[in-house]
Structure 1
Amino acid sequence: MDLQLTDRVAVVTGASKGIGLAITRTLLEEGAKVVAASRKVTPELAELARDGDALEHVSVDLTDPDAPAAVVARAIDRFACLDILVNNAGGPPPGATLPRFSFFDADDADWRAMFEFNLFSAVRACRAAIPAMLERGGGSIVNISTGHARQASAINVDYGAAKAAMNNFGKALAEEFGPQGIRVNTVSPGPVLTPWWTDQGGAADVLAAKLGTTREELLEGGAAQLMNLATGRLATPDEIATVVALLASPRSASTTGADFAVDSGWLKAV
């Protein structure tokens, strides 16, 4: 299927690894031009840049209030327009380690940092991107949230709260700007096999220490069993990226204000 993304201009935040890297790669493969925002360039992102001039990297800390607008401005300077915004940056703020297992594990500073990274960076990016999209006659915004936004948990309370706010924010934008041609949708992954899980000191190590098991046992099926995932495994970043690309595509012209769970069957509620 041709997703009709050739020469569309996209901004992807948190693009250096994991889901953001997969989204960047998928959009490039579909013919889009991508401005990838992250604090640093990973070898994998650098490899994508070698394949042509369709990828521009911007080194920014998205907790800086001025950073999202600077990324959008770079996209317009480089490619003259903006069609797609993927607010993927999120998860643990710089310097934080997740998971946290109790409400009392996060103080006010932790909550502020979590909302800055997971909500306010997206708010600021949308504030910068929407005027440029209106000039184009429309566009697509895809916000990457989490199943925790709908399934409350004592684990990572601050993260779930920030992403729940993002879900509401996305629906509000869809309502306001849908008549002007801008679609806004949300993708809510469950556990995904990313560096957030697999890095040394990451979620697999933290959970293994808490549960008295090993990181290998968790990654090879223990985490899926613990979370009662219907597929029996964690999702892959490419599986999230495929849904994002479809939502970014003009083929999804009547899809807006929706939240897509790509979570290995984690959420059970109707």
Structure 2
Amino acid sequence: MDLQLAGKTAVVTGGSKGIGLAVVRLLLAEGMNVVSGSRTLTAELKETQAVAVIGDLSTPDGPRRLVGAAVDKFGGVDVLINNVGMGDHPEFVEGAVQSLADLPDSEWERTFNLHFYSALWATRAALPSLVQRGGVIVNVSSTAARDASTGPGNYSVAKAALNALTRVIALQYGPQGVRAITVSPGPVSTGTLTDPDGFIGQLAKRQGITHTELVEQMSATFAIPTQRISTPEEVAQLIAFAASPNNINGVDYLIDGGLVKAV
């Protein structure tokens, strides 16, 4: 299926691994120019033809530099994928093990800077180009925004704010030809879940159990009807479709195998 993306330019935050890397690879395969922003340049990202911009996306300057690099090299931005995620920061475990009363403001600030403000800063930087080109913003959220039991509390709240940001962009900039869409994955087979040193592995250590035991507990708790988790490539396919020419705007697409069961 031709998604009619060839020749256009995409900016992907968090494109060095996981879902972001899968998105980078797929958009390149569709013939797009891709500029990826991340804290590090992984060997996997280096192997692609994406333009890699290294920087801290949790600061105001990081997203601005990333979008600026895309404009300088390719003349503008057609698609912005706000994907940057929790990665392997050990601090994010605190949101899962500490209560609302105990989690310090610094951890709330860290989480919001990465999961909400990075998207806001990147969106602001890209909007002039997106308005000019009739572009698309895809915000990668999480089922945790709808079901707070599936993520650390501060992460769930930040992702809920990101969902609201999608709606605001869709409402304010839809008349100018810019669409905004949320894609909300459930558990995905990235290092966050599968790596013993990733987020789930670190959480297991804090709980005094093995990584395998915690994954099994989570699987039983989630009770996903398809009885499996999504792959990064499956999430990337949904993101690419959302970014392709269509009239979808302001919605939240779940890709979770049926984990979220509320109507």
Partner residue of 1:52? none
Partner residue of 1:205? 201
Partner residue of 2:253? 260
CA distance in 2, matches of 1:105, 1:196: 24
Q: Deviations over 1:160-219 (max 9, x none)?
A: 001101101110110111111100000011111111122333233245446665323555
8 Å CA contact retained: 1:7, 1:32: yes
CA distance in 2, matches of 1:128, 1:33: 18
CA distance in 1, matches of 2:15, 2:116: 17
8 Å CA contact retained: 2:88, 2:192: no
Displacement of 1:226: 2.3
Partner residue of 1:111? 108
Residue type matched to 1:130 in 2? L
Partner residue of 2:154? 158
Residue type matched to 1:15 in 2? G
Partner residue of 2:15? 15
Partner residue of 2:66? 71
CA distance in 1, matches of 2:148, 2:214: 22
Displacement of 1:225: 2.1
Partner residue of 1:247? 242
Identical columns (%): 44
Residue type matched to 1:108 in 2? D
CA distance in 1, matches of 2:189, 2:205: 19
Residue type matched to 2:132 in 1? E
Partner residue of 2:184? 188
* Structure 2 unaligned spans of 5+: none
- Report 1:88-127 matches (<5 A): 88-91=83-86, 94-98=89-93, 100-101=96-97, 102-104=99-101, 106-127=103-124
Displacement of 1:229: 1.1
Displacement of 1:59: 0.3
CA distance in 2, matches of 1:111, 1:209: 22
Residue type matched to 1:9 in 2? T
8 Å CA contact retained: 1:147, 1:261: yes
Matched, 1:29 2:29: yes
Change (3 A) 1:179 1:155: closer
Q: Deviations over 1:46-88 (max 9, x none)?
A: 1113xxxxx2110010112111111111001111121000000
Question: What TM-score, normalized by structure 2, do the two folds share?
Answer: 0.93
8 Å CA contact retained: 1:92, 1:114: no
User: What is the RMSD of the two structures over their aligned residues, measured on CA atoms?
Assistant: 1.9
Partner residue of 1:83? 78
Residue among 164, 167, 178 paired with 2:163: 167
CA distance in 2, matches of 1:43, 1:164: 32
8 Å CA contact retained: 1:149, 1:164: yes
8 Å CA contact retained: 1:97, 1:202: no
Matched, 1:231 2:226: yes
Residue type matched to 1:203 in 2? F
Partner residue of 2:135? 139
The 3-state SS of whatever aligns with 2:182 is strand
Count of residues paired in the alignment:
261
Change (3 A) 1:177 1:117: same
The 3-state SS of whatever aligns with 1:41 is coil
8 Å CA contact retained: 1:17, 1:44: yes
Displacement of 1:91: 1.9
The 3-state SS of whatever aligns with 1:165 is helix
CA distance in 2, matches of 1:68, 1:93: 20
4+ residue segments displaced more than 4 Å: 92-95, 209-213
The 3-state SS of whatever aligns with 1:96 is helix
Residue type matched to 1:121 in 2? S
